[in-house]
Chain A
Amino acid sequence: MRLRGQERMGTRSPAATPLPAGLRSAGRLGRRLKRYPLVSSFILVALLVFPAITADWLAPHDPIQGFVPDRRQPPVFFGGTWEYPLGTDRIGRDILSRIMHGAKVSLSISLVGIFFGGVLGTLLGLLGGYFRGWLDAVIMRLVDISLALPSILLALVLAVALGPSFRTVILVVVFVLWALYARQVRGEVLSIRERDFVARARASGNSHARIILRHILPNVANTIVVLATLQVGSVIILEAALSFLGVGIPKPTPAWGLMVADGRQLIVSAWWIAFFPGLAITLTVFALNLLGDWVRDRLDPKVSQV
């Protein structure tokens, strides 16, 4: 899995050709969602942040301890009851409660992982881009190595070595993300450091550390924020994929990927076990990408000028 914010740029199709009626309305909806960023933000809040914060109080059932006699209950409109609105899994755990608690996991993994990956990558990118020379060469080769390693493979290795845990997932996320920040930040620093204000700052007696942190970092802050926002969705997918494969969040913690994996064998007889967590992943990532696009459009002068 490759996490590349830039790749999505190419997928914004020009709406020049006439589309069939159904697609056209979908396009209009997409445009509306773009034009009213609050809408996408609300979807985001509703789908991720709100359940994550309130899971401990609002989730109707315990996410880990199931009531076995109520196992494989269908969702409410498919023959089930309001007791379990989205049904139960094979040991009688409420799926709605588990999705709400799962949001907490997804959110904390993304935030912590992106934070550490971003800080590490930004720092190394600043150092490499500013000092260049052998330090830059070493950092960029590490970036190449990191980008060349498949993250799933890396996760498997780490999970075997350290055991699957929250910490392992964070480590994998950091390892995948830092290189993207380092490469992007370094590229920008290379051009910023040649601008006269950096030379002028040197000539008025700033130290290297001060120039990097006070004069260059604020000029790449936009890029970092855009990159971070665009990555939340990808990180959630990565975490879900790792958990699905059993090398991410260990059972019985409610993680979305784990829940999908759990329901996989029962997909014919009890489809809701895998379907709802899958839907949660899809909608959340969709909303986050909308938000990411919006943030980029607002902050990235290269896009907003077009």
Chain B
Amino acid sequence: MTGASLGDVILEVEHLETHLDTKMGLVKAVDGVSFSLRRGETLGIVGESGSGKSMTALSILRLAPRPAARIVGGRVLLDGKDLLRHGAEEMRRVRGRFISMVLQDPQTSLNPVYTIGGQIAEAIAMHRDVPRPELLSRAVAALRRVRVAAPEQRVRDHPHQLSGGMKQRVVGAIASSCEPRVLIADEPTTALDATIQAQYLRLLKDIQRESGLSIIFITHDFGIVADMCDQVAVMYGGRIVEYGPVRAIFNTPAHPYTQALLSSVPAVDRTVERLYSIPGQPPSLWDLPPGCRFEPRCRWAEPRCRREYPPVLPGRGAGDAAHSASCWKLEDPEWDNPRC
């Protein structure tokens, strides 16, 4: 999908901050994250474990685990209305109806005691005024939409009777049953094998094309990002360190972390002696330095990186589209962030 065919901004996240109270102290799990999502667009959020990807997603739906997690600042605008100001009941009506979610593990995403049909019907009944007898045929239709074979039989099955890929499609059917505006997919294919994964991604794209759905795709797989996303946000230590169109991110990554990540992805057209791996460990979030969070592991680290967090600077990617990153090195026009 190209930028020109994309519609209006549907979801806008502005300086979202979510803090976690842990035994070790306060953790700024999401520390001022901003992005916007247009109709029909797919935004990929990439980052390693603990970078705040999932917490960002949960915070958008206000489902971050309480009482530990608190959203302490920012705005989440859905069609211009701030979700963070919604009451509990209003928020409940947003979930599943306007923004829905697909989680990582299909094995546990379905309630083992109810039939597939019952669970889809429940999701529909929650938000739509559908007469009871019609619910089952709606469930069958939802299953058909996600290409489950023989949906009339499958609605009577219990989750344990389905394969993992099938379950994940059922979860997709539930998530898309009320025709939401935004789908948050939190590593939906991590638990699936490669073939099923490809099928599932194609399915998501088809649903998107049919309904104009916007997708936030959380993953740590750059292959999926290249395949699925229009925009990419790279997260590190609770912040977005680089943000831009997928082409720009892949062709001219602006942040050293993005470059390092790309260098550590194996490629079929490139033979390397030893695959690159980023030295050091992800930062512990309860003891963050004032400066750049990637500084201890960065090849380009300078003294000021340690002192001061870099501002958001324009990247060098694809012309008009906004491409930005937080790195002091971008102030130097000579620097071209070479491959690791």
Contacts and interface: CB of A to CB of B under 8 A. Distances in A.
Contacts of A264: none
A197 B160 CA distance: 13
A15 B44 CA distance: 60
Contacts of B123: 204-205
A205 B103 contact: no
Given A133-B67, A206-B126, A215-B111, A200 B101 contact: yes
Contacts of A65: none
Contacts of A219: 111-113
Interface string B92-114: 11111100110111001111111
Interface in A195-247: 195-197, 199-207, 214-215, 218-219
Contacts of B114: 218
Given A133-B67, A205-B127, A200 B95 contact: no
A203 B127 contact: no
A180 to B, nearest CB: 23
Given A195-B108, A201-B111, A204-B95, 18 more contacts: A133-B67, A196-B104, A196-B109, A197-B112, A199-B101, A200-B109, A203-B95, A203-B96, A203-B100, A203-B101, A204-B100, A204-B122, A205-B92, A205-B93, A205-B123, A207-B92, A219-B111, A219-B112
Contacts of A200: 101, 103, 109-110, 171, 174
5 contacts: A197-B109, A200-B101, A203-B61, A205-B96, A205-B127
Nearest to A206: B126
B67 A218 contact: no
Nearest to A133: B67
Contacts of B109: 196-197, 200
Nearest to B57: A203
A219 B103 CA distance: 20
Contact of A199 (B63, B96, B175): B63
Contacts, number: 63
A216 to B, nearest CB: 9
Nearest to A193: B65
Interface residues of B, number: 29
Interface of B: 61, 63, 67, 92-97, 100-101, 103-105, 108-114, 122-123, 126-127, 171, 174-175, 178
A197 B97 contact: no
A205 B108 contact: no
A66 B103 CA distance: 72
A205 B94 CA distance: 7
A204 B171 CA distance: 11
Contacts of B93: 205
Contact of B111 (A133, A197, A205, A207): A197
A302 to B, nearest CB: 15
- Nearest first, the 8 closest Cβ-Cβ pairs linking A and B are A204-B96, A205-B96, A203-B101, A205-B95, A196-B109, A218-B113, A196-B108, A195-B108
A219 B171 CA distance: 19
Contacts of B105: 196
A200 B122 CA distance: 12
Contacts of A133: 67
Nearest to A221: B113
Contact of A204 (B67, B113, B174): B174
A133 B67 CA distance: 7
Contacts of B108: 195-197
Contact of B95 (A132, A195, A202, A214): A202
A206 B114 CA distance: 15
